[in-house]
Structure formats: C-alpha cells, structure tokens
Amino acid sequence: PTGYVIQQQELDLIVKTTSLSNLEEARQYDRKVVFYFDYLDINPTCVSFTVQRWYPVANLTRYIPVRVYDYYAPGIT
C-alpha cells in the first residue's frame, strides 16, 4: 500500500526463519514485495509480514489484492 515500506533486511530474515521450505527469496522492488517460491502445490501457502508506515496516507484499506503467477509463464495466473 502507498506510504508503507519494508526493509530488505527484514525480508531476508523472513526467508531464513520461515517454516516454508519452498520460499527461496523475497525482494522489495519500488512499490511491491515479491516472494519467490521453488514450487507451489495444492497445500495453502501463507506469508505474513509487517510493513512500516513511512508517509501518512488517508483512506487505507486493511486488505490489499495480490497477484500470483509463474515467473516463466506470467500469462498463467
């Protein structure tokens, strides 16, 4: 969401300490956070993280839509 950020060091810590064995990497790019998984299967996968308020923003919704796709086939969502 606009006005919020997460530091790369925090994402690195999530990758190292998570119980998700298929989570390979997490990166922060401009206005988005990208999680790289080795694979996804039929089991539910949940990544929880906290962002810090960097700039005051009004009318923030608590839930933000996400997009999941295959990196090598982005047309398949």
18, 47 contact by CB (below 8 A) = yes
Contacts 24+ apart (CB under 8 A), 43-48: 45/20, 47/14, 47/18, 47/20, 47/23
Taking the domains of the chain in order of start, what are their residue ranges?
Answer: 1-76
38, 24 contact by CB (below 8 A) = yes
Contacts 24+ apart (CB under 8 A), 24-32: 31/2
The structure tokens listed for 58 are 């009004």
Which pLDDT tens digit goes with each residue over 43-72? 888 888 888 888 777 666 666 677 777 778
Write down the pLDDT at residue 59. Answer: 62
Predicted structure pTM score: 0.75
